[in-house]
A and B are shown apart, each in its own frame.
Chain A
Amino acid sequence: NAGVTQTPKFRILKIGQSMTLQCTQDMNHNYMYWYRQDPGMGLKLIYYSVGAGITDKGEVPNGYNVSRSTTEDFPLRLELAAPSQTSVYFCASSYSVRRQTGSQSYEQYFGPGTRLTVT
């Protein structure tokens, strides 16, 4: 199993350009996530998905869009890139089960990250 893969590893964008960060997992996990990590900081959740066709906003969704057409893929779209979006982006996946007390998630498996610079 490859686990969680992300492409590209590095990218430099000009202000106002758009791009899509790709994320694929082969573990049949139902949950997938996108995080950003600014220098010296922890991870902040951008968007997450509980299954194909279902997405929801995290802490910092502005400036991003996602889609989840298959279980395996969860691309992150940046429209009109801004310098504030310079960061390292991590995709992650996990297996979650829904219990009577509410859904609970198991640990997340992370991709290697994409370093994005917007100038």
Chain B
Amino acid sequence: AQTVTQSQPEMSVQEAETVTLSCTYDTSENNYYLFWYKQPPSRQMILVIRQEAYKQQNATENRFSVNFQKAAKSFSLKISDSQLGDTAMYFCAFIYNDMRFGAGTRLTVKP
């Protein structure tokens, strides 16, 4: 069974600085997708970034980038130039047939 682990329940960062959220997963599959979702206080789940396992190149979306280490089964999210609006819960997710989520990291961006 696929499992996803986020080892940092809470993190904080100063506005304009960089922060990295960690995620590890366990699977025996070879072709899969990984995602980071953001959940602000509104509860809406918002896709931040996706990574296809067969692609070696790390995905980037503006200020968000990932460090995907397939052999280590690691998928960390880097947020550059943090903004107050980045304050939210961040969930790492793995999908093959169904989707498994990590427990989340609560990120607070401080002014």
Residues of A at the B interface (CB closer than 8 Å) are 33, 35, 40-45, 48, 58, 88, 90, 92, 99, 101-110, 112-113
A100 to B48, alpha carbons, bound, how many Å? 28
The 22 sampled A-B contact pairs (Cβ below 8 Å) are A33-B98, A40-B104, A41-B104, A42-B6, A42-B91, A42-B102, A42-B104, A43-B45, A44-B101, A92-B99, A99-B31, A102-B29, A104-B32, A105-B33, A105-B95, A105-B97, A106-B33, A107-B35, A107-B47, A108-B95, A109-B47, A113-B43
A33 touches B99 (CB 8 A): yes
Q: Total contacts A to B, CB within 8 angstroms?
A: 59
Q: Tell which of B6, B44, B91, B100 touches A45, judged by Cβ atoms closer than 8 Å.
A: B100
Question: For residue A99, which residues in chain B have a CB less than 8 angstroms away from its CB?
Answer: 31
Question: For residue B43, which residues in chain A have a CB less than 8 angstroms away from its CB?
Answer: 88, 112-113
B96-111 near A? 1/0 per residue, CB < 8 Å: 1111111110000000
When C-beta atoms are compared, the residue in chain A nearest to B91 turns out to be: A42
B45 touches A104 (CB 8 A): no
Main secondary structure of the interface of A (DSSP, over half): strand
A104 touches B99 (CB 8 A): no
Question: For residue B97, which residues in chain A have a CB less than 8 angstroms away from its CB?
Answer: 102-103, 105
Question: For residue A108, which residues in chain B have a CB less than 8 angstroms away from its CB?
Answer: 95, 99
B30-42 near A? 1/0 per residue, CB < 8 Å: 1111010000000
A42 touches B103 (CB 8 A): yes
B45 touches A110 (CB 8 A): yes
A107 touches B33 (CB 8 A): yes
Q: Tell which of B29, B45, B96 touches A105, judged by Cβ atoms closer than 8 Å.
A: B96
A58 to B100, alpha carbons, bound, how many Å? 10
Tell me whether A45 and B96 are in contact in the complex, defined as CB-CB below 8 angstroms, given that A88-B43, A99-B31 are known contacts: no
